[in-house]
Structure 1
């Protein structure tokens, strides 16, 4: 593994309130697409209704951050949220409902653990090759699935094809690993490299370049073994860095040195994600103007602490 992966496809930030999440990301200087939520009847012939989870994207040229909220009947979807009707034959409706319910239950369980990052998906140009490599390495996964993902454009909502797989670990529900949901995705090659469309961000963000995973010291050997099977061998040092996947693993005792003042919400857990920016000084000025609390990492970076960003630290790194 390693030669057939291209960094992060997306990370999933699971939130309690989509409106609050959008407001927070706007204050961080990001452009957030309008949230989308599925609508379908719960019984054949019934009236369509919101169901499952809603999501909104912070999109970059090659990847994105996904904001995810469970639709729980509280009416907390922001006014600009758009319904995406799902149409399936009556015979397939029970299976689709079961799949959506399972996804919703998974997301809800993550949220009960803590609000923050729980999903990390790695980009690959060859999902079938990745699946074969994982199987050869003895890594359990659910196989390759093909779905149509709704994507908001300036004029409409279109369905974008994507193929993906999720990794599973023994003793956990399908598609789960101890730190959350980890997998791979391959977009339709016809959609690359310029699509799907993306807009600029006031903070100058240009891409999602890192996901930081925090783990207990005693669990580090097992986790690095797992991630080596997933992504190839790490570059070791004070942190363990899986370069081609853009994943950094840090122990709980070392997290404070990497991100001063940060403490993990749970272990293991995705503690932070990093975005590249065109001009770190401009980014800092926008954050200051918006009243966002900012800290330094000790490197040529700044970050917004997790308690100011709905459970996950957001690191801003000067683009090279």
Structure 2
């Protein structure tokens, strides 16, 4: 089953500062939410996809990886120590966590228990509601700085909010995500397992997988820098480098961000906010085709 993009985790050291950055970029940013394992988040929603801004707030509460238990908090704490701020995790939409776990296990990219949790969320009108999620994890040997997982929502009607999806930058949805690697072809099987669909060669340095919600691109670090004009994240194996958003307001956004020195040199039809301005992430704004 093909899986659309569900969300990315943007790990930061200061959650309120990250909220201010996304606000300056024209997004509506949700309030703080707390996890019982020592992290807090704020959510930036688009239809069917969101950015999870995440901060490790109480590291002493984070449980370790143990046996087949994968610790969401421990991975992000280690990522912050080894890589700094940036895009740490990619989630695909889930529908059957047990089946997804079994598939990842068979393909030798799993071996982890599913993880089920809930929390209280506050809607824009102030109402408190309960939301719940079940995650099935997939990891690739040799890519220590990336975790993929499927995310199945138990009460999606309590999570998604039309009010939180209205943005002054006119973003209407996710266009895709970009991963980087020294040899993209070596990661084709892993990405096909995670997305449930084909990941095809565009060139020797670039592979693309289309999902029901957004594309998954994996390209060489050199090609990423050539294409977007910003440095690619380093390390070994796969790294999540960028999120691409679709907006008809790209020209106006460019002018506003250029005045704040938050964008790189002009790339035709595209606005690129570099890692130095977006707390370790590259955020790309594109006009929709046609």
TM-score (norm 2): 0.83
Asked whether the 8 Å contact 1:141–1:168 carries over to 2, the reply is no
Assess, with a 3 A threshold, how the Cα gap between structure 1 residues 208 and 269 changes in structure 2: closer, same or farther: same
Rounded Cα–Cα distance in structure 2 between residues aligned with 1:304 and 1:97 = 32
Question: What are the Cα deviations for residues 186-208 of structure 1, in whole angstroms up to 9, with x where unaligned?
Answer: 223x6369934442111111222
Rounded Cα–Cα distance in structure 2 between residues aligned with 1:100 and 1:264 = 25
Rounded Cα–Cα distance in structure 2 between residues aligned with 1:97 and 1:34 = 22
Asked whether the 8 Å contact 1:275–1:316 carries over to 2, the reply is yes
Instruction: Choose from 168, 177, 181 the match for 1:215.
Output: 181
Structure 1 runs (4+) deviating above 4 angstroms are 99-102
Instruction: Choose from 236, 243, 250 the match for 2:201.
Output: 236
Asked whether the 8 Å contact 1:8–1:209 carries over to 2, the reply is no
Q: Is 1:58 matched up with 2:44?
A: yes
Rounded Cα–Cα distance in structure 2 between residues aligned with 1:10 and 1:57 = 10
TM-score (norm 1): 0.76
Structure 1: tracts of 5 or more residues without a match: 40-50, 74-95, 172-176
Assess, with a 3 A threshold, how the Cα gap between structure 1 residues 99 and 151 changes in structure 2: closer, same or farther: farther
Question: What are the Cα deviations for residues 69-89 of structure 1, in whole angstroms up to 9, with x where unaligned?
Answer: 11149xxxxxxxxxxxxxxxx
Assess, with a 3 A threshold, how the Cα gap between structure 1 residues 192 and 236 changes in structure 2: closer, same or farther: farther
Rounded Cα–Cα distance in structure 2 between residues aligned with 1:197 and 1:257 = 36
Q: Is 1:163 matched up with 2:134?
A: yes
Rounded Cα–Cα distance in structure 1 between residues aligned with 2:141 and 2:221 = 24
Deviation, 1:28, is 1.1
Q: Which residue of 1 aligns with 2:146?
A: 180
Asked whether the 8 Å contact 2:130–2:158 carries over to 1, the reply is no
Q: Secondary structure at the match of 1:135?
A: helix
Q: Secondary structure at the match of 1:68?
A: strand
Question: What are the Cα deviations for residues 81-101 of structure 1, in whole angstroms up to 9, with x where unaligned?
Answer: xxxxxxxxxxxxxxx974799
Rounded Cα–Cα distance in structure 2 between residues aligned with 1:111 and 1:226 = 24
Rounded Cα–Cα distance in structure 2 between residues aligned with 1:279 and 1:72 = 39
Question: What are the Cα deviations for residues 123-181 of structure 1, in whole angstroms up to 9, with x where unaligned?
Answer: 1334344334333433324243332143330213322122221113458xxxxx52322
Q: Is 1:20 matched up with 2:17?
A: yes
RMSD: 2.8
Asked whether the 8 Å contact 1:302–1:315 carries over to 2, the reply is yes
The number of aligned residues is 275
Rounded Cα–Cα distance in structure 2 between residues aligned with 1:10 and 1:63 = 5
Assess, with a 3 A threshold, how the Cα gap between structure 1 residues 198 and 186 changes in structure 2: closer, same or farther: farther
Q: Secondary structure at the match of 1:306?
A: coil
Assess, with a 3 A threshold, how the Cα gap between structure 1 residues 292 and 252 changes in structure 2: closer, same or farther: closer
Asked whether the 8 Å contact 1:214–1:250 carries over to 2, the reply is yes
Deviation, 1:17, is 1.1
Q: Which residue of 2 aligns with 1:11?
A: 8
Asked whether the 8 Å contact 1:274–1:316 carries over to 2, the reply is yes
Deviation, 1:53, is 0.7
Rounded Cα–Cα distance in structure 1 between residues aligned with 2:201 and 2:252 = 33
Rounded Cα–Cα distance in structure 1 between residues aligned with 2:115 and 2:39 = 19
Rounded Cα–Cα distance in structure 2 between residues aligned with 1:99 and 1:149 = 21
Structure 2: tracts of 5 or more residues without a match: none
